[in-house]
A and B are shown apart, each in its own frame.
Chain A
């Protein structure tokens, strides 16, 4: 076990956005799409491609915003920034949506705009595009959020100089629930 360190953290769940233990945005009455759009507008993210993203990507994108919006990656080369992420349900919500679009053979119009979000790596990709991250990235699908494993993996990347800073954490979405918790792991 590596030494426990407190890293900058953003957590989104149950209608709240929490930065380092402090709630900065809360609207527990809204369903996820309206909640996340509300946060997008409230904090003026101003990134048109956001509207095209699937729900999983929107969740990850907003969580990453609060860890990276103040130039936290300044001074690092794009290749020095890693991403270590995981979830339990992969892209199941979008997978189901895409399946619905192709199951009727008499009305068969596969949707490219939906299909592109049928891999969880696209969530990492959207963040990398926005913040010009070109370092090593990895995405795990596992039953439960294993914070220690994810942090240890990131710390190993730093120790082996695979990266100098890592965006690390868990972003999971289903129709029933959502949870994002991201850390900025640095030396």
Chain B
């Protein structure tokens, strides 16, 4: 799980074009879409995360409500990937 989280940090930085963010600066427990959070992600970034799961892990997210739970934090993303990756 920890290894996957570290990998996800690097992938998210690349996918979301966060070129000045270091992996260590992302807290796995922090809400990804908190308006006052460190990353300030928005709806465009949600699209990017959907693309990332598809491209890197072959996982397609089609249900919006499901997406909200999956993308709550890095931890929830990693858990979902571990459960659904082929």
Contact = CB atoms under 8 A, between A and B. Distances in A.
Contacts of A112: 44, 47-48
A52 B17 contact: yes
Contacts, number: 48
A52 B40 contact: yes
B16 A34 contact: no
B17 A48 contact: no
A102 to B, nearest CB: 12
Contacts of B44: 112-113, 116
Given A48-B38, A48-B39, A113 B20 contact: no
A159 to B, nearest CB: 38
A116 B42 CA distance: 12
Interface residues of A, number: 20
A37 B19 CA distance: 10
A113 B38 contact: no
Interface string B37-77: 11111101101100100010000000000000000000000
A36 B21 CA distance: 12
Interface in A127-160: none
B4 interface: no
A92 interface: no
A180 to B, nearest CB: 17
A3 B14 CA distance: 49
Contacts of B18: 51-52
B20 to A, nearest CB: 4
Interface string B3-47: 000000000000111111100000000000000111111101101
A113 B40 contact: no
The 6 closest A-B pairs by CB, nearest first: A48-B40, A49-B40, A37-B20, A112-B44, A113-B17, A112-B47
Interface of B: 15-21, 36-42, 44-45, 47-48, 51, 55
20 contacts: A33-B19, A34-B20, A36-B20, A37-B20, A48-B37, A48-B39, A48-B40, A49-B40, A49-B42, A51-B21, A51-B38, A52-B17, A52-B18, A52-B39, A54-B17, A97-B17, A109-B51, A111-B48, A111-B51, A113-B48
